Structure 1
Amino acid sequence: MMLAQDLVQSGPMVGYSSMKEALLWVQTTKAAEVHFEYFDKENPKKRFKTEKYTTEKNLGYVAKLVADEIQPGKKYMYEVFVNGRRIKRDYPMEFQAQTLWQWRTDPPEVNFAVGSCNYVNEKEVDRPGRPYGSEYEIFTSIHKKDPDFMLWLGDNTYLREVDWDSRKGFLHRYTHTRSLPELQPLLASTHHYAIWDDHDFGPNNSNGSYAMKDTASEIFKLFWGNPNYDVIKKGGITGHFQWADLEFFLLDNRYYRTANNNYTGERQMLGKEQIDWLINALASSRSPFKFIAIGGQFISSEAMYENHALFQKERNYIIQKIREARIEGVIFLDGDRHHTGLSKMQESDRVYPLYDLTCSSLTAGAHKNKEELNVYKLQETLVGVHNFGILNVSGPRKDRVLTMKIFDKDGKELWTKAIKAQDLRYRSRRR
């Protein structure tokens, strides 16, 4: 007889959170009826249920259901039921509703994890030789930090040659990665948001010419729990979310991209429609820190590999528009490079510095890259081992402070840096 636990392939996972609803995700091993039950940790006798959903093979046996009977600021425990049978886990399954703080208190303290480049080995289809993925215990270390949410910065799975040209290949690769045992406790009690880069979009260095890009979008949306996608209605995964007084702008650096070596016409990584949306959204924001998440490095001056310096005209245009609109508090977050480092660019003393945190890699092969051609790098922040970041924002509403900390696979702190929101304002607005 099949045990109830055997009905689950991966998850459950907690997706986005708002004040009124949160997304719950799970993948079954075969077609099955799924629902979640949840309750306020302070009032466990009053239980709520999501709708029921029957998973389908063509949709990866994935269920995405909304818990919409929640109240601001409350923390909830939940259970997942498959074919009416409760799935037991030996780790917490929890989520939270965001806090209603506006007009009442200072915004709450926020802790979130960042990371990119997660390679899970599959010997049958991997390249011969030394395995490329390792040290999966890093996810246990992230889980122990107990972040409010995790923002995955691309290459969250690595599609292989056998996956690129079929929908079945996409479903297999995403399923294989999501099923990693070490990942399950982190999925179950931390909210998750994501963008992509080339390896979870398609082949290495892939771009807008990729024939399967709409399939890539479909499967990405199936396996992640962002509150929105394709906000510019042009395809792809561009999106946005807010946590407390912080805003996150999730960019798509693949769907509209010109090939890296195509110089025959106008070149773009993001495209004008996405950039126009970004600048307009940034200009509308009152957040003290405006986090722009993008798959590849933005600030680095190294015109190599796949960073935005290869698309210099577009990068300069974005910086120009940020400055023209006097948008304050911008922080770039990205991955891709298989090492971590912080870049800082300040064109003159009339403008505040733009920071770019590159955080890579989680489990894929790490490199001790010195970024010799990046004039904006902060040398002391370069890390060439598997690592992740925990970003903390705290303090009163008008004096928020961002503290970045980078940890190795065992959770040992490698470096820390604090950035005051007031230092990311234009001179006339600073104290």
Structure 2
Amino acid sequence: MKSIIIALFLLAPLFVSAQIKSGPMLGYSEMKEVLVWIQTEKSAEVSLRYWEKGDKNIHKTDPVKTEKSQAFIARIIADEVSMGKKYEYEVWVNRKKVSFDYPLEFQTQELWQWRKDPPAFSFIFGTCNYVNEEATDRPGRPYGGADEVYAAMYDKKPDFMLWGGDNFYYREPDYTRTGMIHRNDHARAVKSMQPLLANVHHYAIWDDHDYGPNDSDRSFPLKQTSLEMFKMYWGNPNYIFPNEGITGKFQWADVEFFLMDDRWNKAPNELNDPNKDYWGQKQMNWLLDALISSKASFKVIVNGGQVVSPAKVFENMANYEGERNQLLKELKNRNIPGVLFLTGDRHISDLNKLERPGTYPLYDLTVSPMTAGKADAVKLDYNETLVPGTLLQERAFSKIEVSGPLKDRTMTITLFNVKGEVLWTKAIKSTELN
């Protein structure tokens, strides 16, 4: 009897459910696996149970122990999945099921190649997400607000969300590893965000505020710690340069997304040299090579700052004219079809269209901010690339839908306010970008 009591005592910690701090959040989705991210309040064993919708054949993952050194984060791979299926899932902490007041579902990508036209899909794009914290915010009126936007995005039922930088904002007390963990924790744990995290797959890049201080560049001394944080808190499928920034790439159906890093190699804004680094040649060369080998209907380059607009304001790529000219020249010389850009940073939203003699126009959709403070456009924003009627100066997000047969795909961009009301819509056909 005594031995039984001792055994139960030793097992007791496994039956005390540690509270979930944030998540679950869905990371990447592929045909053969899905990443699920979960953070607990303290050390715990976390696992998943999941099953295809309509089928109660339950799959279980091995438990992952969360540790303080990794901010009590579990990154769990669901690898007993089939292609093109939707799954329901449960989170188990210390051998107890955790209850949520919203559904938990993920999906795998479909094998359509050589079989049929690619499936239709949709995704949300947004940038500049500021979460207020009185102790570290500047005095006065709170800079962040409108967190009803998370419910509005969730209601659109996208397949995934693409976070385009400034996904949270580091503050002055945050520039230690401890401070960075706190800021990531604080931004990720917003209660109204949790249903969106749990049911929509998420991919991300960074910009200055979730990399370091305002306008931070390659000289930022904690850049390696910032990179560690990004890899801990996001679920991207790959990193092209493992210890040199967050550059990556993923595909959804017939569209490829090129996730660019505009901080790691970026020269200071104040450097007076037209050929100064923006992405840096190593990253530029990778991008151009990856684009020329891509067969995607749309090749979406995701970047923190605006690329297409010639306005030399703030941190637009136009201020780095050597690299911008190289990019535009090589896109034309290499005859790369289907390229367009998604950008943020500006705290305004607009669509820019650069007409290029002898080839197709380049579009650049800027969506900013989600919950951070809005800004005013400047005179130079109203230039020849601005698509009339698209510049808005309010909090917003976009839903982008891709549909149609392989040889004639349509990308429909809709800009919404934080309540989910339509502000404008624009359709771009793949045949226009040849």
> With structure 1 as the length reference, what TM-score do the two structures score?
0.95
8 A contact 2:66–2:73 mirrored in 1: yes
Are 1:279 and 2:302 matched, yes or no? no
The correspondence for 1:189, drawn from 192, 196, 199, is 199
Cα distance in 1 for residues equivalent to 2:158 and 2:244 = 31
1:148 equivalent in structure 2: 159
The equivalent residue for 1:429 is none
Matched residue, 1:396: 405
User: Is the contact made by 1:370 and 1:382 (CA closer than 8 Å) also made in structure 2?
Assistant: no
Following the alignment from structure 2 to structure 1, what is the Cα–Cα distance between the partners of residues 289 and 243?
17
Residue 329 (structure 2) pairs with residue 315 (structure 1): no
Q: Name the structure 2 match of 1:344.
A: 353
Is residue 232 of structure 2 the alignment partner of residue 222 of structure 1?
yes
**Residue type at the aligned position of 1:309:** A
Determine if contact 1:300/1:343 at 8 Å carries over to the other structure: yes
Residue 367 (structure 1) shift: 2.0
1:14 maps to which residue?
26
Alignment partner, residue 296 of structure 1: 305
Tell me which structure has the larger Cα radius of gyration: 2
Q: For each residue in 1:125-145, what CA deviation from the matched residue of structure 2 results, as whole angstroms up to 9, or x when unmatched? A: 100000000000000000000
Quote the residue 2:8 is aligned against: none
The 3-state SS of whatever aligns with 2:389 is: helix
Q: Distance in 1 between matches of 2:16 and 2:152?
A: 28
**Alpha-carbon shift at residue 265 of structure 1 (Å):** 8.5
Which amino acid counterpart does residue 137 of structure 2 have in structure 1? D
Residue 264 to residue 422, structure 1, CA distance change in 2 (3 Å): closer
> Per-residue deviation at 1:233?
4.5
Shift in Å at residue 104 of structure 1?
1.3
Secondary structure of 1:23's aligned partner: strand
Partner of 1:51: 62
Measure the CA separation in 1 of the matches of 2:274 and 2:296. Answer: 37
CA distance in 1, matches of 2:22, 2:93: 13
Task: Give the SS at the match of 2:412.
Answer: strand
Identity rate of aligned residues, in percent? Answer: 48
Write out the 4+ residue segments of structure 1 that deviate beyond 4 Å after TM superposition. 2-6
Q: Secondary structure at the match of 1:332?
A: strand
Give the 5 Å matches for 1:395-414.
395-414=404-423
Paired position in structure 1 for 2:269: 260
Tell me the distance in 1 between the aligned counterparts of 2:215 and 2:190: 25
Name the count of aligned residue pairs: 421
Asked whether the equivalents of residues 274 and 321 of structure 2 are also in contact (C-alpha less than 8 Å), the reply is no
Q: Distance in 2 between matches of 1:398 and 1:104?
A: 14
Deviates more, 1:82-91 or 1:137-146: 82-91
The equivalences for 1:18-29 within 5 A come to 18-29=30-41
Q: Which residue identity lines up with residue 296 of structure 1 in the other structure?
A: G
Query: Quick one: distance in 1 between partners of 2:129 and 2:184?
Result: 11
| Residue in 2 that maps onto 1:81 | 92
CA contact (8 A) 2:206 2:261 kept: yes
CA distance in 2, matches of 1:6, 1:339: 41
SS state of the match for residue 381, structure 1?
coil
Please list every run of 5 or more consecutive structure 2 residues that lacks an aligned counterpart in the other structure.
Answer: 1-12
Are 2:375 and 1:367 aligned? yes
State yes or no: 1:199 paired with 2:202. no
Matched, 1:103 2:114: yes
Is 2:112 aligned against 1:112? no
Alpha-carbon deviations, 1:39-76, whole Å to 9, x = none?
101212x1111221111111111110100010001100
Shift of 1:302: 1.1
Aligned pair in 2 of structure 1 residues 22, 365: CA closer, same or farther (>3 Å)? Answer: same
Maintained 8 Å contact 2:17/2:94: no
State the AA in 2 paired with 1:18: E
| Aligned-residue CA RMSD (Å) | 1.6
Question: SS at 1:162's partner residue?
Answer: helix
Deviation (angstroms), 1:266? 4.5
1:353 counterpart residue number: 361
Task: Report if aligned partners of 1:29, 1:61 keep a CA contact under 8 Å in 2.
Answer: yes
Partners of 1:272 and 1:213 lie apart in 2 by 19
TM value normalised by structure 2: 0.95
Contact map agreement 2:51 2:89 (CA 8 A) in 1 = yes
1:139 is matched with which residue? Answer: 150
Contact 1:4 1:87 (C-alpha < 8 Å) held by counterparts? no
For residues 371 and 245 of structure 1, the distance between their equivalents in structure 2, rounded to whole angstroms, comes to 38
Alignment match, 2:183: 173
